[in-house]
Amino acid sequence: MMKIALIGTHGTLKTTVAHSLCVALKQERYKIKLVQEVASDCPYEINGVDIEAQKWILVNQYSREMEAEMAVNGNRTPPDIVVCDRSTLDAYIYTVDLCKKQGMEIPKWMSYLTKASLSGYDFLFKTSIFSGGLIEDGTRSVDPVWQKEIFDLLNSYLQRWKVPHYCLPYSTIDGIENPSKNDLRQLAEEQVNYMIKVILNNGKGKVKREDRSLVLPEYATSGSAGCDLRAAESVILKKGEIKLISTGLRIFLPKGYEGHIRPRSGLALKHGVTVLNSPGTLDEDYRGVVKVVLINHGEDDFEIKKGDRIAQLVVTRYEKAEWEEVVDFDETDRKGGFGSTGI
């Protein structure tokens, strides 16, 4: 599962862009869960001097994100991607601003919670203040001076805490003094296209270990096409036996990629141990633990210890065909199959 959030001061189209991003990701066949801002539901006055309001917003932002990671479409099936139109850092920054102005100490637990939660985002995309002023959201104050104060404070914490993030583009409205609604729609489209490119084409696979002692997939040399997969359990593979061996890893492949699970040549040559369904296929939408079907063709039983390399994973791009039903095919010179051309 992947989690994405927009960060930035209020009135910078975060909600609009988040909704548009969800639509685009659904078109890519991902199961999406949107976490919307919680400030509008706060029982306290959020634009005043009540620290309880900021505590409520941060805690509820965090809890809604946790709930979203566990369920989608009303059931307990986790989504592929959680999109948050705010991050916990956004909620925290308003607390910092209030405490500074009131001469109060920032509650330590809020700092700890925010720092810890930031590691849970796979991508953070920052919005900026643009020419034409503040977009009213009906929740936060429309004071442009306060908007700029929050923006500057957010940037200072991004630097102080060294938070990895991407800055969204604004070329669509460059030079436009007062962007129209159509201009803002085009801006949102530009930013969504940018995010899709970053999210789906970054070439990074995600891995979750069921056991922290397990070794992540790794390439033996700089020129290796396949990365090693290791056993998460110790077993005896008897002569002629077939067994399903767990790697203890859940792998999230980038969009448009598949994984081939292939034998290790050393095991095959020296012990007759190979991947029975070689190559096994790891689909990009598979979220279960990766397991390897091994067979022992050797003359002796073979011992597999936890951590032993049992197969290799080759990640490659794939294309999907669009099928068209026809009445007949064009004939070729080839006749038959299954050895029809000889040995």
Each residue of 26-52: pLDDT tens digit? 987 788 999 998 988 999 888 767 899
User: DSSP 3-state assignment of 293?
Assistant: strand
pLDDT at 277 over 90: yes
Give the residue-averaged pLDDT of 293-320. Answer: 93
pLDDT tens digits, one per residue of 1-27: 789 999 999 888 899 999 999 999 998
User: What pLDDT is stored for residue 221 in this prediction?
Assistant: 87
Residues 209 and 251: their CA atoms lie apart, in Å, by 9
Check residues 117 and 201 and name the one with the higher pLDDT. Answer: 117
pLDDT tens digits, one per residue of 79-116: 888 999 999 999 999 999 999 999 999 999 999 999 99
Residues 22 and 33: their CA atoms lie apart, in Å, by 8
Give the residue-averaged pLDDT of 208-218. Answer: 88
Q: Report the residue count for the chain.
A: 343
Partners of 295 in beta bridges: 242, 274
pLDDT tens digits, one per residue of 110-163: 999 999 999 899 899 999 987 665 566 556 666 788 888 999 999 999 999 999
CB crowding 297-336: b at 16 or more within 10 Å, else e = ebeeebebeeeebbbbbebeeeeeeeeeeeeeeeeeeeee
Residues 122 and 3: their CA atoms lie apart, in Å, by 5
Q: What confidence category does residue 197 fall into, taking pLDDT thresholds of 50, 70 and 90? A: confident
For 206-317, which CATH superfamily applies?
Deoxyuridine triphosphatase (dUTPase) (2.70.40.10)
- Rounded to whole angstroms, what are the CA distances from 245 to 8, 301, 303? 46, 15, 12
**What secondary structure does DSSP assign to 49-69, as a single string?**
T-HHHHHHHHHHHHHHHHHHH
Give the residue-averaged pLDDT of 185-208. Answer: 84
Torsion of CA 97, 113, 289, 278, to 10 degrees: 50
Q: What confidence category does residue 253 fall into, taking pLDDT thresholds of 50, 70 and 90? A: confident
CATH topology classification for 2-200: Rossmann fold (3.40.50)
Give the residue-averaged pLDDT of 293-315. Answer: 96
Q: How many CA atoms lie within 13 A of 331 on its CB side?
A: 2
Please give the backbone phi and psi of residue 38, each rounded to the nearest 5 degrees, phi first: -105, -10
CB 35 within 8 A of CB 64: yes
- Rounded to whole angstroms, what are the CA distances from 20 to 119, 179, 192, 295? 24, 19, 7, 48
Domains 2-200 and 206-317 fall in the same CATH topology: no
pLDDT at 235 over 90: yes
User: DSSP 3-state assignment of 24?
Assistant: helix
Check residues 266 and 174 and name the one with the higher pLDDT. Answer: 266
Among candidates 109, 97, 105, which has minimal Cα distance to 157? 97
Residues 55 and 64: their CA atoms lie apart, in Å, by 14
Strands of the sheet containing 273-275, edge to edge, are 206-209, 242-252, 289-296, 273-275
Partners of 280 in beta bridges: 261
Give the residue-averaged pLDDT of 190-213. Answer: 83
Check residues 276 and 335 and name the one with the higher pLDDT. Answer: 276
Report the percentage of the chain scoring pLDDT > 70.
Answer: 92
Amino acid identity at 208: K
Q: What confidence category does residue 302 fall into, taking pLDDT thresholds of 50, 70 and 90? A: very high
Question: By CB neighbour count within 10 A (0-12 exposed, 13-18 middle, 19+ buried), where does 181 fall?
Answer: exposed
- Rounded to whole angstroms, what are the CA distances from 270 to 165, 233, 239, 296, 305? 48, 21, 14, 11, 17
Q: Domain boundaries in the chain?
A: 2-200, 206-317
Cβ-proximal residues to 84 (8 Å cutoff; 6+ apart), any chain: 3, 4, 5, 6, 18, 34, 35, 61, 65, 68, 121
Is the pTM for the entire model greater than 0.85? Answer: no
